[in-house]
Amino acid sequence: MRGVTDDDPYQWLEDLESEAALAWVAERNAETRAALADGAGFASLKQSLREVLDASDRIPYTVRRGAYLYNFWQDAGHVRGVWRRTTLEQYRKDSPEWEVLLDVDALATSEDEKWVWAGARVRHPDHDRALVHLSRDGGDATVVREFDLAGRAFVQDGFQVEEAKTRVGWIDADTVFLGTDFGPGSMTGAGYPRTVRRWRRGTPPGEAEPVFEAETTDVSAWGAHDTTPGFERSFVGRAMDFYRDETYLLAPDGARIRIDVPDDASAYAHRRHLIVTLRSEWLGQPAGSLLAFGFDAFLAGDRTPEVLFTPDGRTALAGHSWTRHHLILETMHDVSTRIEVLTPGSDGGPWARRPLADVPALSDASVVGTDPDVSDEYFLNVSGFLQPSTLYHGHIGGADTTDVLKQAPPRFDAAGLTVRQFFAASLDGTRVPYFVIGPDHSRTGPGPTLLHGYGGFEVSLTPFYDAVAGRAWLERGGTHVIANIRGGGEYGPQWHQAALRAGRPRAYEDFAAVAADLVTRGVTTPAMLGAEGGSNGGLLMGAMLTRYPELFGAVVAHVPLLDMLRFHRLLAGASWTAEYGDPDDAADLPHLRELSPYHRLTADRVYPPVLLTTSTRDDRVHPGHARKAAARLRELGHRVLFHENTGGGHSGAGDNEQAAHNEALMYTFLWQHLSPPNP
């Protein structure tokens, strides 16, 4: 454990709004501005990226709620954005007519508040009211206000909840399930609601009827009501940690009936079905399987599943969506998508299956909308690293009609670029896939390369069209690499679980193996190889810096998690102990001490230059992680730049202007340090 120390002289930087901490942030921001933003080319790069983010011909993705398609839209004229809706007939046009429901810019101006849109829950099945969530400057905590869709206005004396990490959902026109901060004891140690209450219109939220309570040590409690005609049911539950939960059917008399599946499985009811996704073996079915049961039969004790998907060594479940009569199944084979349609058999008979659509190799396809109440309509988005998104609209049944609704234009010059997939051998021999997007290096020789990874929380990095990276990196001669390391979900639960807790170094070994393989293949050299990641990916970057500094010419970490001895005491950190371990548990403390990049920093190693970015308003990963690491790196004499945006929450940016600025900082930094040497 070379260089590991428990010393923490910079804990004062965890005080978000202290005068001393903010003064330190201002000084670091000024240094970064002088080093990156004041130089030639920064303004034009930022403007080019802003054009991508604000482009009026982007695909406006929608969700169907009854007769309308809803969309939230931001551009240069709508910095904070507008919530709007249209009909499918209008949406088919190149320039649809949109009905603007809520202008967040106008609201922010009228209330002198930096509101950021955080979503809305439209009441089903009437679609006449919504519970709108608004965040102050991008944090996870929101205020909730009831909104009248017909009148396009907030409901005076309607449902309103003060700022908190609130969970709220409709039961009927005059009742909601509510979990929020009711004062001491009402929130878990992770900062999420511990109680679920049934709140009736016109009554104070504090007088709402309690229906469920989780433990203080749980992550959160929740309640939900299914309004599907003929299948009206209420459920409550608790998340004990990130991967274990309990779900209960709430009987009319208030009794709770446990949905008796393994606590690491996810389960939900859909009409007459109970759908279960496994993280561990159960009923003879392996982890990663998707199972279906008759809901009533399951409650009566029948444990005979219809197996909808079984993984293999190279194929994993990516997701699934319901239409009125079918289930669309998305799977990944070596991180490329396959799409099937599954149809329940009549009277409980076997399910039928068939392909839905052909997906190009090394591409991603995802269902972005369905209409499970009424029809077998679906919206399917297909894209790739060099393939701008195409949005299809289709109906399952008969001839399976499908047509192109929208197609995004290219945003960068892809001439001479290719997409290839390779596999690196990790330290223990595991085969780790990664994508390389760039020129043919057999002709061009090694060049500047940016390696991106995440490696945690079952998150899969699938092919996507990144127009910002395209303009800022690819069309200027760079190569972009996406590493599908363990800790993600690319090969199912076992791929994730291999890097849990004390196994986390497996993710780091995978990423380092990809970095070394890029050099072996002649794609790049260590001096021209950069590494970049955010949040848990920022922890990955901290590991690269402290464990494998010789592999990289520069490292960028966004909103990073870096102090693994105090993460559980900062904001939402307590909810991640199932992923990393608990520093208060003597059994976990040794591996967390060794994992902690902040505590591994030392003066006697040569680190590549580092850029750390965060947000004062990030109420998920505390900005103290990045602040303290930057301060320690400075103290030890290493090259580090630090940028803290005052707003933006965990995304680091609350609008396109901030996002373009952050991206321009990163790419300017990377080009400064990874550009090839002069001949």
Q: Which residues are catalytic?
A: 535, 650
Helices 536-547, 505-520: crossing angle, 10 deg rounding:
70
Instruction: Decide if 640 contacts 646 (C-beta within 8 A).
Output: no
Dist. CA 565–CA 584, nearest whole Å: 9
408 neighbors 59 (Cβ within 8 angstroms): yes
Strand 68-75 versus strand 115-122 pairing type: unpaired
- Is residue 247 classed as helix, strand or coil in its secondary structure? strand
Q: DSSP class of residue 673?
A: H
- CA dihedral in degrees (482, 536, 458, 550; nearest 10)? 40
Whether the CB-CB separation of 87 and 74 falls below 8 Å is answered with no
Tokens of 556: 């960028």
Distance CA 275, CA 260 (A): 12
Query: Is residue 148 within 8 Å of 129, Cβ to Cβ?
Result: yes
**What are φ and ψ of residue 63, in 5° steps?**
-125, 140
Of 102, 100, 98, nearest in space to 115 by CA: 102
How deeply is 202 buried, as exposed, middle or buried, from its count of CB atoms within 10 A (0-12, 13-18, 19+)?
A: exposed
The pair of structure tokens assigned to 541 is 């970057």
The burial of 44, by beta-carbon neighbours within 10 Å (0-12 exposed, 13-18 middle, 19 or more buried), is given as exposed
Nearest to 481 by CA among 419, 421, 437, 448: 437
d(CA 270, CA 308): 15
Tell how strand 160-164 and strand 167-172 pair up.
Answer: unpaired
Alpha helical stretches, state H, 413-572? 441-444, 467-472, 493-497, 505-520, 536-547
User: Is residue 642 within 8 Å of 29, Cβ to Cβ?
Assistant: yes
Contact in structure between 495 and 430 (CB atoms under 8 Å): no
Q: Is 522 left (phi over 0), alpha (psi -120 to 50) or beta?
A: left
What is the pairing mode between strands 63-65 and 68-75?
antiparallel
Give the containing element (helix H, strand E) for 102: strand 99-103
Distances (CA, A) of 157 to 95, 160, 264: 37, 8, 41
Six-digit token string for 341: 């349609």
Task: For residue 373, count CB atoms less than 10 angstroms from its CB and return exposed for 0-12, middle for 13-18, buried for 19 or more.
Answer: middle
Report CA 256 to chain centroid distance, whole Å: 32
Region class of 38: left (phi > 0), else alpha (psi between -120 and 50), else beta:
alpha
